Amino acid sequence: MSAILFEQWRYGALRRINQTNCAVNAVVTDVETIAADTCVVAMGNDSNSVLRPLGIRLPIYPVKGYSMTFPVGQWNGAPVIPMADTGRHIGITRLGDRIRVAGTAEFAGNDRSLNPKRIGNLRRFFLDVFPDYPDPTAGVGWTGFRPMTPDGIPYLGETPIQGLYLNTGHGHLGWTMSCGSGQALAHLISGATGDLDLTGMTLASR
């Protein structure tokens, strides 16, 4: 079996998955059509753009999160271990010479703009916890989307179309679950016996 890890920068954006007699036979990108008998859709919030034309519609919705990243500079009071405020759902993580403060959940469709109020909350939280941080005006804001499902469980496994698999909808835990999900899919596709029971995560079971 040969496989292509689909990277937009190399192959162009994926536009369509072709099927004949309910079996995958190609993927169509901006630049070419690539013959394929197996395809894993792992496109987070964009997954439905290629699934919908095949008659599959997943309940995945973008839940917007924010982060502020502060330079450590010469500050010697910077934390060295991650911290979390479970009440306010905000985490503070040291990333080398930067500190990242991340959290919040906002329903804003696909609007990527930075809501100044939410960014302000992250800044205020950071400065409350570390009042000795030397430059209260520093910090760069960022926003990204969590591909959430209503039950918080990702979609993993087969679809009614032969050769078409799902690995999407990991919500706020996509990094945590990425290796396990990838391995479970690899086992399923290659026919190996996996450790993970996918019951409850498949399309057919929901």
Q: Can you give the binding site for ligand FAD, defined by CB under 6 A?
A: 6, 8, 13-14, 42-46, 65, 67, 102, 144, 146-147, 168, 170-176
Q: How far is the CB of 103 from ligand FAD (least distance, A)?
A: 7
Which residue is nearest to ligand FAD, using beta carbons?
174
Q: How far is the CB of 132 from ligand FAD (least distance, A)?
A: 25
Q: What is the DSSP letter of 193?
A: P
Nearest to ligand FAD of 49, 134 (CB atom): 49
Residue closest to 154 by CA, chosen among 108, 198, 92, 91: 198
Nearest to ligand FAD of 28, 138 (CB atom): 28
Nearest to ligand FAD of 13, 153 (CB atom): 13
Please write down the HEC assignment for all residues of 47-90.
HHHHHHHHCCCCCCEEEEEEEEEEECCCCCCCCCCCEEECCCCE
Burial degree of 157 (CB within 10 A; 0-12, 13-18, 19+) = buried
SS3 7: coil
Q: How far is the CB of 74 from ligand FAD (least distance, A)?
A: 27
